[in-house]
A and B are shown apart, each in its own frame.
Chain A
Amino acid sequence: MKIPDWLSDGTTCPCCAVSVGGKRNFVEKTLVEIASMMERSIFSEKYSSSKGFLQSIDPRVKLITILLLIVTTSFVTKIEIILGIYVFTLFFAYLSKVDLFFFIKRVWLFIPIFSGIVVFPAMFNVVTPGEPLVTLVHFNSTVQLWIFQFTEISITKEGALGALLFISRVAASVSLIVLLTLTTRWADIMKSLRTLGVPQIFVMVLSMTYQYIFLLVRVVQEMHLAKKSRTIKTDRTGEGIKKEQNWVASRIGTVLMKSYKMSDEIHSAMISRGFHDEIKSHETFRIRNIDRIWTGFSLAFITGVILLNYPV
Chain B
Amino acid sequence: MQLFDLKNVNYLYLNRIHALNDISLSIEQGEHIAILGANGSGKSTLLKLLDGLIFPSSGIVKAFGKTLTENILDGEGGDFPRFFRKKVGLIFQNSEAQLFCPTVLDEIKFGPLQLDIAKTDINQRINDVMGMLNIENLKDRAPYTLSGGEKKKVAIASVLSINPDVLLLDEPTNGLDPRTQRWLVELLIELRKIGKTIIIATHDLEIVEEVSERAVVFNEDHRIVADGKAKVILNDTALLMGVNLIHEHSHRHIEKSKLTF
Q: Which of A's residues lie within 8 Å of B, judged by CB? A: 42, 49, 185-187, 190, 207-208, 210-212, 214-215, 262, 265-266, 268-276, 279-282
Contacts and interface: CB of A to CB of B under 8 A. Distances in A.
B162 interface: yes
A269 B115 contact: no
Contacts of A214: 144
Interface in B101-120: 101-103, 106, 109-111, 113-116, 119
Interface of B: 48, 51, 53, 75, 81-82, 85-86, 89-90, 92, 94, 96-98, 100-103, 106, 109-111, 113-116, 119, 122, 140, 142-145, 158-159, 162
B94 A281 contact: no
Nearest to A281: B113
Contacts of B53: 268, 271-272
A280 B81 CA distance: 16
A187 B103 contact: yes
Contacts of B116: 280
B111 A211 contact: no
Contacts of A190: 102
Contacts of B113: 280-282
Contacts of A49: 140
Closest 7 CB pairs of A and B: A274-B114, A187-B102, A265-B97, A273-B111, A274-B115, A274-B85, A269-B98
B239 to A, nearest CB: 23
Nearest to A263: B97
Contacts of B102: 186-187, 190, 207, 210-211
A279 B113 CA distance: 9
A262 B140 contact: no
Contacts of B145: 42
A266 B100 contact: yes
A280 to B, nearest CB: 5
A214 B115 CA distance: 29
B109 A269 contact: no
Nearest to B119: A282
A152 to B, nearest CB: 57
A269 B110 CA distance: 11
B94 A273 contact: no
B48 A269 contact: no
A63 to B, nearest CB: 15
12 contacts: A190-B102, A208-B100, A210-B102, A214-B144, A266-B97, A273-B111, A273-B115, A273-B162, A274-B111, A275-B110, A279-B114, A282-B113
A160 to B, nearest CB: 45
A276 B114 contact: yes
Given A262-B97, A274-B86, 8 more contacts: A208-B100, A212-B100, A265-B94, A265-B98, A266-B98, A271-B53, A274-B162, A280-B116
Nearest to B107: A273
A274 B82 contact: yes
B100 A270 contact: yes
Contacts of A270: 100, 110
Nearest to B96: A215
Nearest to A264: B97
Contacts of A211: 100, 102, 142-144
Contact of A273 (B75, B140, B144, B159): B159
A212 B86 CA distance: 27
A272 B85 contact: yes
Contacts of B103: 185, 187
A195 to B, nearest CB: 16
Nearest to B98: A269
A270 B92 CA distance: 11
A211 B142 CA distance: 8
B97 to A, nearest CB: 4
A154 to B, nearest CB: 53
A215 B144 CA distance: 7
A210 to B, nearest CB: 8
B155 to A, nearest CB: 9
A211 B144 CA distance: 7
Given A211-B144, A265-B94, A272 B51 contact: yes
Contacts of B96: 215, 262
Contacts of B97: 262, 265-266, 268-269
A183 to B, nearest CB: 14
B32 to A, nearest CB: 20
B90 to A, nearest CB: 5
Nearest to B73: A271
Contacts of B100: 208, 211-212, 266, 269-270
A187 B142 CA distance: 8
